[in-house]
Amino acid sequence: MTMLLRQRMEEETGAQVICCNSHAAARICLENEEFTLALTGLNLPDSPRGEIVALLGDFGVPTIVFTAMFDPEARERYAQKKIIDYIVKDGPRTVETVLQTVARILSNSAFTILVVDDARSARSGLVEILTRQNFRVLEAHSGKQALEILEAEEKIDLVVTDYHMPDMDGYELTRRIRETRSSEEMRIVGVSSSTDRWLSASFLKAGACDFMYRPFVPEELQCRIDNNIETLRQIQRLRYLADRDYLTGLANRRCFFEKTRQMEEARSLDNFSSVAILDIDHFKRINDTYGHEAGDRVLKMVADTLSEACAPAKHFAARLGGEEFALYLRNTDAFQAHSFCEQVRQQIEELVMEVNEREIAVTISIGVVETETGESFDNNLNAADQLLYLAKSNGRNRVYSTLTLPEAMAAANASAVAELF
């Protein structure tokens, strides 16, 4: 069982797993290493009565107890030792339960929770529980401070707020938060020691996602927080799938237009931006000659190159459809945009893909423009598309921008004259 768990955890979570078969071995490891999480049974050869849990608590390691039996008395006793969860070996899916629990706690580090309570002791208790669950936790002692933190911190996923606070009650804080952030972006859990049984309904109507009356059972609080975080995970996954091109992993057409319009609206007048449209040259020939599987590999190869090139400057790449891609280049004027696109063109030209012992060379054509203030984004995109058309008409495997427009027009006119004769 131990070796199976170790192998599965390393494969499925990417975590480094160290196994100890005794209390003494665990102590040596704890004295020499720092651990994010511990998974332990209760009975070890040199600690038959669960002493290992106390040892892990002494070193401040969040602990999951994995045991064959867990009666209510033992549950209460080990809860006092601040274990973060327990799992009973009660069926064939036990290993899967362990893996899911470990993966959940490790992934909690990606989520930030804001605890709002004017009472320091109550706030500290919540912070301690959530920190043991591996969340990033922030604190606010008033509704006003909570709003200031929310304005300064872009990434807060969940707010746990008390009701009774001197400057602003939790109901009003919830209502204010919901003016700018939906439940799809941020979950809110209300807590209160009030005896008013209508308070939970008031919180939920104001926009809270959950509510608990004090004194609460820490395990129940943990389950409610986990459920809300899991809802966020599912929303984020659905949003990711809705925004992604299934083949390349880049943003899809709908996402590109939605996000770029938002970025353009948020862009200040003294900042530049550019937009490019690119097309894989002779892509139909690749599909017809080598098959659609080879064509898919080419699309992925180009997408990976675009993604890698765009990452450092946080440019935005998307697949518009077929063999057509688009780039939104942040803080980039016409000269910088042309240079960037030329580098991308060269990188792709240097790529070689082997199919049936034959090498396929891939090239792209690009049209790029600096976005003009006052013009709609669609018009800027159409201008880039016209330059792409000129690039393909004048030989492919080249970048055309407003910097090369006279040259492009001259070449296009020469081609038209040649057709007359």
Contacts of 371 (CB under 8 A, 6+ apart): 264, 272, 273, 274, 275, 377, 380
**β-bridge pairing 364-370 and 273-280:** antiparallel
Check: CB of residue 138 under 8 Å from CB of residue 156: yes
User: Residue 107: which of 210, 37, 188, 18 has the closest Cα?
Assistant: 37
Q: How far is residue 150's CA from residue 147's CA, in Å, rounded to a whole number?
A: 5
Angle at 268 between CA 263 and CA 269, to 5 degrees: 120
> How many CB atoms within 10 Å of residue 206?
18
Enclosing H/E stretch for 220? helix 218-243
Q: How far is residue 421's CA from residue 413's CA, in Å, rounded to a whole number?
A: 13
Check: CB of residue 379 under 8 Å from CB of residue 360: no
User: Residue 345: which of 281, 407, 298, 389 has the closest Cα?
Assistant: 281
Q: Which residues are catalytic?
A: 323
Check: CB of residue 276 under 8 Å from CB of residue 368: yes
